[in-house]
Amino acid sequence: MAGEQDAEVSAEADIGQVAHACDVEESARQELLRLRASIDNLDAALVHLLAERFKYTQAVGHLKAVHKLPPADRLRENAQIMRLRKLAEDAHLDPAFAEKFLNFIIEEVIRNHKEIAQEQQSRQ
Protein backbone atom coordinates (compact mmCIF):
# COMPACT_ATOMS: atom_id res chain seq x y z
CA MET A 1 0.00 0.00 0.00
CA ALA A 2 2.81 2.39 0.95
CA GLY A 3 4.50 1.63 -2.42
CA GLU A 4 1.29 2.33 -4.30
CA GLN A 5 0.84 5.65 -2.46
CA ASP A 6 4.45 6.63 -3.26
CA ALA A 7 3.85 5.82 -6.95
CA GLU A 8 0.69 7.95 -6.92
CA VAL A 9 2.47 10.89 -5.28
CA SER A 10 5.33 10.55 -7.79
CA ALA A 11 2.87 10.42 -10.74
CA GLU A 12 1.12 13.54 -9.43
CA ALA A 13 4.49 15.31 -9.13
CA ASP A 14 5.33 14.32 -12.74
CA ILE A 15 1.97 15.66 -13.97
CA GLY A 16 2.60 18.83 -11.97
CA GLN A 17 6.01 19.24 -13.58
CA VAL A 18 4.65 18.67 -17.08
CA ALA A 19 1.83 21.15 -16.42
CA HIS A 20 4.38 23.68 -15.13
CA ALA A 21 6.58 23.11 -18.21
CA CYS A 22 3.50 23.64 -20.45
CA ASP A 23 2.71 26.89 -18.62
CA VAL A 24 6.31 28.06 -19.12
CA GLU A 25 6.17 27.12 -22.83
CA GLU A 26 2.82 28.90 -23.23
CA SER A 27 4.07 32.02 -21.45
CA ALA A 28 7.26 31.99 -23.62
CA ARG A 29 5.11 31.64 -26.74
CA GLN A 30 2.95 34.58 -25.64
CA GLU A 31 6.06 36.66 -24.94
CA LEU A 32 7.47 35.79 -28.39
CA LEU A 33 4.20 36.89 -30.05
CA ARG A 34 4.23 40.15 -28.04
CA LEU A 35 7.84 40.93 -29.04
CA ARG A 36 7.16 40.08 -32.69
CA ALA A 37 4.11 42.39 -32.78
CA SER A 38 6.35 45.28 -31.64
CA ILE A 39 9.01 44.33 -34.22
CA ASP A 40 6.29 44.36 -36.92
CA ASN A 41 5.17 47.85 -35.84
CA LEU A 42 8.74 49.14 -35.97
CA ASP A 43 9.25 47.55 -39.40
CA ALA A 44 6.17 49.34 -40.76
CA ALA A 45 7.57 52.64 -39.41
CA LEU A 46 11.00 51.87 -40.93
CA VAL A 47 9.49 51.13 -44.37
CA HIS A 48 7.51 54.38 -44.32
CA LEU A 49 10.56 56.42 -43.30
CA LEU A 50 12.63 54.73 -46.03
CA ALA A 51 9.90 55.57 -48.59
CA GLU A 52 10.11 59.20 -47.47
CA ARG A 53 13.94 59.13 -47.56
CA PHE A 54 13.93 57.85 -51.16
CA LYS A 55 11.60 60.69 -52.19
CA TYR A 56 14.26 63.17 -50.99
CA THR A 57 17.18 61.29 -52.55
CA GLN A 58 15.25 61.10 -55.83
CA ALA A 59 14.91 64.90 -55.73
CA VAL A 60 18.69 65.09 -55.05
CA GLY A 61 19.23 62.77 -58.03
CA HIS A 62 17.24 65.05 -60.36
CA LEU A 63 19.07 68.14 -59.09
CA LYS A 64 22.45 66.44 -59.63
CA ALA A 65 21.44 65.23 -63.11
CA VAL A 66 20.25 68.71 -64.21
CA HIS A 67 23.40 70.40 -62.84
CA LYS A 68 25.66 67.57 -64.03
CA LEU A 69 26.99 66.85 -60.55
CA PRO A 70 28.53 63.38 -59.88
CA PRO A 71 26.09 60.76 -58.39
CA ALA A 72 28.39 60.03 -55.41
CA ASP A 73 29.83 62.60 -52.99
CA ARG A 74 32.48 60.98 -50.73
CA LEU A 75 32.88 64.05 -48.49
CA ARG A 76 29.14 64.12 -47.74
CA GLU A 77 29.07 60.30 -47.23
CA ASN A 78 31.96 60.45 -44.72
CA ALA A 79 30.20 63.21 -42.77
CA GLN A 80 26.98 61.13 -42.75
CA ILE A 81 28.83 58.02 -41.51
CA MET A 82 30.55 59.92 -38.67
CA ARG A 83 27.24 61.51 -37.62
CA LEU A 84 25.26 58.24 -37.70
CA ARG A 85 27.96 56.33 -35.76
CA LYS A 86 27.71 58.99 -33.02
CA LEU A 87 23.87 58.85 -33.00
CA ALA A 88 24.01 55.02 -32.89
CA GLU A 89 26.39 55.08 -29.89
CA ASP A 90 24.04 57.41 -28.00
CA ALA A 91 21.07 55.11 -28.83
CA HIS A 92 23.03 51.95 -27.78
CA LEU A 93 23.04 50.59 -31.33
CA ASP A 94 26.27 48.99 -32.64
CA PRO A 95 27.98 51.88 -34.54
CA ALA A 96 29.54 49.35 -36.96
CA PHE A 97 26.03 48.16 -37.83
CA ALA A 98 24.80 51.76 -38.30
CA GLU A 99 27.68 52.33 -40.73
CA LYS A 100 26.88 49.10 -42.62
CA PHE A 101 23.22 50.17 -42.76
CA LEU A 102 24.06 53.61 -44.19
CA ASN A 103 26.40 52.08 -46.79
CA PHE A 104 23.62 49.67 -47.76
CA ILE A 105 21.21 52.59 -48.30
CA ILE A 106 23.79 54.81 -50.07
CA GLU A 107 24.59 51.98 -52.51
CA GLU A 108 20.91 51.89 -53.54
CA VAL A 109 20.72 55.71 -53.71
CA ILE A 110 23.79 55.96 -56.00
CA ARG A 111 22.30 53.24 -58.24
CA ASN A 112 19.11 55.38 -58.45
CA HIS A 113 21.12 58.58 -59.11
CA LYS A 114 22.93 56.90 -62.02
CA GLU A 115 19.59 55.78 -63.49
CA ILE A 116 18.18 59.33 -63.22
CA ALA A 117 21.35 60.80 -64.86
CA GLN A 118 21.05 58.31 -67.72
CA GLU A 119 17.36 59.16 -68.23
CA GLN A 120 18.24 62.87 -68.22
CA GLN A 121 21.01 62.32 -70.84
CA SER A 122 18.79 60.22 -73.11
CA ARG A 123 16.20 63.05 -73.09
CA GLN A 124 18.78 65.64 -74.33
**Binding-site ranges for its own copies (CB under 8 A):** 25, 28, 31-32, 35-36, 38-40, 42-54, 56-57, 59-60, 63, 66-67, 76, 80, 83-84, 87-88, 91-94, 97-98, 100-102, 104, 108
How near is the Cβ of 57 to its own copies at its closest, in Å? 7
Closest CA to 117 of 66, 56, 53, 57: 66
Query: Which residue type is seen at 10?
Result: S
Residue whose CB is less far from its own copies, 1 or 55: 55
Measured CA distances, 47 to 11, 31, 53, 80 (Å): 53, 24, 10, 20
Residue whose CB is less far from its own copies, 7 or 66: 66
